[in-house]
Amino acid sequence: MELDSLYQEVILDHYKHPLHKGLSTEKTVQVHHVNPSCGDEITLNILLQDGVVSDVTWDGVGCSISQASVSMMSDLVHGKSLDEAFVIVDSFSELMSSKGSLQGDESLLEDAVALAGVSKFPARVKCALLGWMAFKDAAIQGRDGEKI
């Protein structure tokens, strides 16, 4: 069934057991993003230390795709330098806009390549991107804040 390309096992695992969920008290930046068409919301904290994402935590409501995606994302960027994190985010964005033509770079995206199938469902792409865009927003704010 076509559906299985969307809901891979690893996605449902992350959905049932999300990583880094629950907001930390310590943070450099907090952002709140919503998906206006379905009402999903996410609050995301990042803690930056010397240009490194030393902590990412989040809370929110959303569908399996959005929850699994933010879970994978937070695990991926955790401990990475901002520059590395941006490369990962860009690679994921590219995958999402590929309309099924890309597989995703597993060395970079790890579990998140399981979301490749989402790119064939245009209505779900923004679910998958919600957490990533929140992170990118927070990271840019944090970087610009550090520079000052």
Site string for other proteins, 40-59 (x = CB under 8 A): xx------------------
Give the pairing of strands 40-49 and 52-61: antiparallel
Alpha-carbon distance values, 138 to 7, 57, 104, 141 (Å): 28, 12, 24, 5
Query: Rule CB under 8 A: is residue 123 a binding residue for other proteins?
Result: yes
Among 79, 100, 122, 145, binds other proteins (CB under 8 A): 122
Q: Phi and psi at residue 70, in whole multiples of 5°?
A: -70, -35
Question: Minimum distance between the CB of residue 123 and other proteins, rounded to whole angstroms?
Answer: 5
- Token pair 């099924």 is found at 100
Interface residue list for other proteins (CB under 8 A): 1-3, 6-7, 12, 34, 36-41, 61-65, 121-124, 127
